[in-house]
Structure 1
Amino acid sequence: MPVAAGREANRSVARRFSSRSPIRTGARTAKVAIRFPTPHSVPLTLDQLHLDNRLARLGDAYGARVAPTPLSQPRLLHADAEVAALFDLDPSTLSSEAFVETFAGNRPLPGAEPFAALYAGHQFGVYVPQLGDGRAMLLGQVRNARGESWDLQLKGAGQTPYSRFADGRAVIRSSVREYLASAAMQHLGIPTTRALSLIVGDDPVRRETIERAAVICRVAPSHLRFGNFEVFYYRNQPQRLAPLADHVIDEHFPQLRETPDRYAAWLAEVIERTARLIAQWQAVGFCHGVMNTDNMSILGLTLDYGPYGFLDAFDAHHICNHSDEGGRYAYDRQPGIGYWNCSRLLQATLPLLDADEQRAVEIAESLLERYGPQYSKTMTGLWRAKLGLRDEQDQDVELINRFLGLLHAGRGDFTRSFRLLADVAMASDASAGPLRDEMRDLAAFDAWLPDYRARLQAQALGDDERRAAMNAVNPKFVLRNHLAQQAIEDAERGGASEIETLLSLLRKPYDEHPGFETYAAEPPPEARLIEVSCSS
C-alpha cells in the first residue's frame, strides 16, 4: 500500500535531498445569508478600518500597483461574519451597499494600496519564470485589537501585469468552491486562507463556456508563497531575497528577529509546518490537485483552492484534477510532492543561508531532513487517533496500513468508513456489520478485525469514551464534490440556500446533525463522475 503512515511515510518522503533533487548553485534551471458571531472587540465600520500594505512598501521589485476592474451590477451572495470578526469588522456592515461595492472592487477602502505580487514557480515540475497574482490583488493588511495582522485580498477583481493575456476574473463556479472549502478546512482544524465575501456580477467570462464573474475577498495572515522567493533566485537577484525574508520574519516569526541564524530557523519552521499541513490533508482525505510551488504557502496554510477534492470511494492513487494526466498530484503522492516543493524553496533561498555555496547547500540539506520525521510523526499520530488508539504500540503502523489497504481494495467510502469504525465494539458482536459492508475483501477484513479488537482491549479505554474520541477527529461531513456542485448550481440561479446549509454542516463537521444524513452519504451514481480542472 503506498498510503504512507508512520515508518512507511518516513521512507516515502525522507529521502536524501541530493538523491532526488540536488540543490545547485550553478545554472538556473441572491438572498444574502450572514451569520453573527460574538465580536471580540468594539466593532468597526468600513471607514474605520486602517489598511497598511506593508508588502507594497517593499517596492516595485516585488509586484505591481494595480486598480480593480469594477464589477457590473454587483450582488452579495454570501458573507461570513465569522471571518469579519477576525479583523473586528461590524457584522451589520456586511449587508450594506458600501460593503458590496468595496469588496466587488468598485469602491476603494481608505488606505488601500492594491498590489499584485510577483512570483514564479514550478508547475507540474517545470519551472515557469514569471507568474504572479494574475487575478488577485492585495488591498493591504488590517491589524485587529488583539494585534493580529490580516491580509485582505480580492480574487477575481480584474487584470494585473501578471494576467498573461487572461481576463483576471474568477467565475461563480470556482468562487463558490473556494468560499466553501476555506470554511470547511478551517473547521476541520487545518490551516487555511479564509473567505470573507462572495459577490457576483453580470460580466460574462469565457472559460469552457460563457460564465458569470464573481469576486471573493480572501483573508489570511499572509498570501506569500514559495514562488515569491523562487523568482529572484532564478533571475539571479539574490539581493531581493533578504528584504522579503525579513518582511516574513518580522510579520510572522518575530521571535526569530534577533537570532543570528534567523533565516535557517525560519526555513526550518516553514518546512515543518508544510509537513504537518500535508499530513492533515491526508488524514481527512483532502486532495489539493495543483501542488505547484506557487501554490505553497510560506506560512503552511492551504492556499489556492482550484481542482481540489475530498475522497469519496478511497483510492490511494486518486487524481482529483483531470488536467493532471500524469497523476503528479495524486493523493498518495502529496507527501512526496511537499518534500520536493520544500527542496525548491531551499534552493531558492540558498544565498540567505551562507555566503559559501557549499556550506549553504549543507545547511539546506540538513533543513530538508526535518520534513520526513515531522511528516511521519504527525501522520502516525493522526492515524492512531482516527483508529481510536490512545497509546503507542509497535504494531500500530502495520494495523493502520492494513485497514487503509482494505479501504483501497474495496473502494470503501473514506469519511463514512472511519465514522463506522468508531461504532465497532471491543467485544465480538455484530457492531462491525455496517463497516464490513464497505469492504470488498471480506476474508481480509475478517482477519484484520480480531487484531484491531485485541489492540483496543490492550488500552484502558471503554467503547463509549473511545467512540466519542474517534468521532471528534473523524468528520461526518466533508465538502464532497457533488455537494459543492449543488451549491454552485443554486448560486448560478441567484440562490444561497445551499451555501448556507453546507456552511452550517461544515462549521460543525463532527456533529451528527440529525435530518441531514444525505449530506454525509456517498454521492449518487450520477454524481460520481464530476470532474474538476485547473479552470475550477
Structure 2
Amino acid sequence: MPQPPVFDNSYARLPAQFFHRQHAESVPAPSLIRINTPLCTQLGIDKTWLESSAGLDMLSGRAFPDSADPIATVYAGFQFGSWNPQLGDGRALLIGEIVAPDGHRYDIQLKGSGRTPYSRGGDGKSPLGPVLREYLVSEAMHALGVPTSRALGAVTTGDTVYRDNALPGAILTRVASSHIRVGTAQFFASRDDRQALSALCDHVIARHYPHAADSANPVQAMLNAVIGAQANLIAQWQGLGFIHGVMNTDNMLLCGETIDYGPCAFMESYDPATVFSSIDHGGRYAYGNQPHIAHWNLAGLAQAVLPLLHTDEDEAVKIAQSEVNAFPERFVAAYQKVLANKLGLSDFTDSDDELLKDFLTLLKQEKADFTLALRRLAERASGRELVKTLWDFPSSFSDWLQRWDERIARDSQSSESRAAQMQRANPLYIPRNHRVEEAINAAYKGDFSPFNQLLEVIGQPFDDRGEWLDYARPAAPEEAVCQTFCGT
C-alpha cells in the first residue's frame, strides 16, 4: 500500500520566534501538473502515494501527513540595498523535513499556498507562470550541476490570482537542503536576540557544516564555510551566464544553494551590464555585479554574527573582516576552475587572464551568444559541428582562436580529455527566455506539452541531440524577452 512521507522537523523544534505554525489556505479544485520522479526516488518518497488523492492534498496544501508540521519562517533582509526589518515566508509554508535514504536532510516547502503573518498585504498566492518558470529553471540548474533548490511537483489550484490581470493559480512544491537565509541571521541580530542568533548558528552548523562544531571558534568556521560555498556558487552562475535578478540578503541561503527563481534569466548576447528583472531599475543585480553583491551580502552575514565571533567587539570585527575580505580571492579561484574547464585547460594561470578578457571583449563586440560561443569552442576541440549551423566564430575571432590553439597545444592534457572536459562544461541547452515564455503561454491555454518538452530538453543540457537543435537557438528579435517578473 502506498505510504506517505515521514517528516522529521528540526527547524520547527527551534524557539517559537523563528516561525509561525499554520495551514495553507484552502484551494477549490487542485489538479496535478507534474511530479518529479527522479527527485522522488532521491528523497525516498513513494511516487505512487504522491500521485494519489492524498498526495495531491499535500501538494495543494489541503491536508498534510500526520508527521508534517507546517510553518512559515521569519527573516529580514536588505532588498536592493534598503533594510526591511521583517520579511518572512509571505506565500510559502515549510511542510517539514525529510531525511533521504542517503542521510541528507531536505526541506519540503509549498510556494503559493496563501497568506501568512509575513505576507505584508499580499495574497500569498502564485500565478501559474512563476511556478512553471521556477520548475524549469531550478531543474535546469540541477542538470547543469549548480547547487539549487528543486521542484518536487506542481499543481494548479482552481483559484484565480489577480496581478495585472486575472491568472490561474498554482502551487510549487520546492525542495532545498534548507531555507535558512542570510536574512534569517539578520532578523535576530537586528533585534539583539543573541539567544536566538546562537540557536540559529548551532542549527546551521549541525545541519550543514558539522565540521565547524570541532573548531576553536565554531561560528567563525561556519562563516568561513558559507563564504566558500557562495564563492563556488557565484562562480558557477558566472560561467553559465545565469542572472538571478534579486540577490537580496533574504534570497541567499546559508547552505549555498540557489533559491527564489523569480525574475531570473540566462544571458544570450554577452554583456556584463545585462539585466532582465523588471524591478532592477539601476542594474544593481546585473550579471557583472553578481560577485560584488555576493561579497556585500556576506559582509551583512558577518556583521549579523559579530556578537558570536568574540566577546571583545574589536576582536570580533577583526575576525569578521578577515573572513569576508577573503571572498574575492576565493571567488576568483573558484571562477578560474570553472573557466579552465570551459576553455579546455588543465588549469587556469595568471597568464590566461588576457586570453579570457580578449575573448569576452570579442563576445561583447560581436553581440555573440554566450552559451553558443563557448559550445562552439568546445566543438572545435572535438571536431563536431552541430552548433556551427546556428553560430560560428566570425573573422574577428581569427587571431584569438590562433592564440587559443597555441595555448591548448602547451597544455598537459590529451586532446581527447580536453574535448570531453569542454563537452561537460559547456551546455548546448539552457532554458532560454523565449522558450520559457512559450511554455508558460501555452500552459495558460491549457496545453502543458511545451512545458514538458522543454523540461526534457534542459534536463540533458550537454547532449548533442540534433532533433532538439532549435531549443539551442537564441531568440529572434520578435521573440526576445527583455524583462522578467517575480510574480508576487
Conservation of the 8 A alpha-carbon contact between 2:86 and 2:187: yes
Conservation of the 8 A alpha-carbon contact between 1:314 and 1:413: yes
Q: Which moved more, 1:287-296 or 1:179-188?
A: 179-188
- 1:426 deviates by 10
Instruction: Tell me if 1:300 matches 2:227.
Output: no
| Distance (whole Å) between structure 2 residues aligned to residue 485 and residue 530 of structure 1 | 11
Conservation of the 8 A alpha-carbon contact between 1:421 and 1:432: no
Give the equivalent residue in structure 2 for 1:311. Answer: 267
Matches within 5 A, 1:70-89: 70-89=26-45
Letter in 2 for 1:517: L
CA deviation profile, 1:381-406 (whole Å, cap 9, x unmatched): 11121111124444211101110111
- 1:534 deviates by 3.0
Give the equivalent residue in structure 2 for 1:516. Answer: 468
Conservation of the 8 A alpha-carbon contact between 1:424 and 1:431: no
Instruction: Tell me if 1:110 matches 2:66.
Output: yes
Conservation of the 8 A alpha-carbon contact between 2:127 and 2:161: yes
Give the equivalent residue in structure 2 for 1:206. Answer: 162
- 1:459 deviates by 2.2
| Distance (whole Å) between structure 1 residues aligned to residue 306 and residue 478 of structure 2 | 50
Conservation of the 8 A alpha-carbon contact between 2:15 and 2:196: no
Unaligned runs of 5+ in 1: 1-43
| Distance (whole Å) between structure 2 residues aligned to residue 507 and residue 528 of structure 1 | 23
| Distance (whole Å) between structure 1 residues aligned to residue 387 and residue 121 of structure 2 | 56
CA deviation profile, 1:132-151 (whole Å, cap 9, x unmatched): 00001111111123322111
Letter in 2 for 1:503: L
Conservation of the 8 A alpha-carbon contact between 2:219 and 2:309: yes
In structure 2, relative to structure 1, the CA distance for the partners of 1:313 and 1:257 (3 Å cut) is same
Give the equivalent residue in structure 2 for 1:8. Answer: none
Instruction: Tell me if 1:384 matches 2:336.
Output: no
CA deviation profile, 1:447-466 (whole Å, cap 9, x unmatched): 32221111122124454543
Give the equivalent residue in structure 2 for 1:22. Answer: none
Letter in 2 for 1:457: A
In structure 2, relative to structure 1, the CA distance for the partners of 1:345 and 1:487 (3 Å cut) is same
Which of the numbers 405, 417, 424 marks the counterpart of 1:472?
424
Conservation of the 8 A alpha-carbon contact between 1:286 and 1:310: yes
| Distance (whole Å) between structure 1 residues aligned to residue 391 and residue 444 of structure 2 | 40
Instruction: Tell me if 1:194 matches 2:139.
Output: no
Which of the numbers 120, 128, 133 marks the counterpart of 2:84?
128
The count of residues paired between Structure 1 and Structure 2 equals 487
Which aligned segments of 4 or more residues in structure 1 are displaced greater than 6 angstroms? 430-436
Which of the numbers 234, 237, 243 marks the counterpart of 2:193?
237
| Distance (whole Å) between structure 2 residues aligned to residue 520 and residue 446 of structure 1 | 24
In structure 2, relative to structure 1, the CA distance for the partners of 1:67 and 1:435 (3 Å cut) is closer
For the residue of structure 2 that corresponds to 1:519, the secondary structure is: helix
Which of the numbers 13, 21, 25 marks the counterpart of 1:57?
13
Letter in 2 for 1:148: H
- 1:113 deviates by 1.2
| Distance (whole Å) between structure 2 residues aligned to residue 118 and residue 343 of structure 1 | 21
Letter in 2 for 1:417: A
Which of the numbers 181, 186, 198 marks the counterpart of 2:137?
181
In structure 2, relative to structure 1, the CA distance for the partners of 1:407 and 1:113 (3 Å cut) is same
| Distance (whole Å) between structure 1 residues aligned to residue 183 and residue 172 of structure 2 | 22
Letter in 2 for 1:519: Y
Which of the numbers 210, 213, 219 marks the counterpart of 1:257?
213
For the residue of structure 1 that corresponds to 2:425, the secondary structure is: coil
| Distance (whole Å) between structure 1 residues aligned to residue 3 and residue 482 of structure 2 | 40
Which of the numbers 310, 317, 322 marks the counterpart of 1:366?
322
Which of the numbers 444, 448, 451 marks the counterpart of 1:499?
451
| Distance (whole Å) between structure 2 residues aligned to residue 431 and residue 71 of structure 1 | 47
Conservation of the 8 A alpha-carbon contact between 2:433 and 2:481: no
Letter in 1 for 2:91: R
Give the equivalent residue in structure 1 for 2:354. Answer: 398
Give the equivalent residue in structure 2 for 1:162. Answer: 118
Q: Which structure is higher in RCO with an 8 Å CA cutoff and minimum separation 6?
A: 1
CA deviation profile, 1:246-299 (whole Å, cap 9, x unmatched): 111112222222433111001100011011100100000000000000000011
TM-score between the two structures when normalised by the length of structure 2: 0.95
Q: Which moved more, 1:401-410 or 1:50-59?
A: 50-59
Letter in 1 for 2:41: A
CA deviation profile, 1:181-207 (whole Å, cap 9, x unmatched): 111011111000111011002211111
Conservation of the 8 A alpha-carbon contact between 1:45 and 1:89: no
Letter in 2 for 1:115: I
Letter in 1 for 2:399: A
Instruction: Tell me if 1:455 matches 2:407.
Output: yes
Instruction: Tell me if 1:529 matches 2:485.
Output: no
Instruction: Tell me if 1:223 matches 2:188.
Output: no
Give the equivalent residue in structure 1 for 2:302. Answer: 346
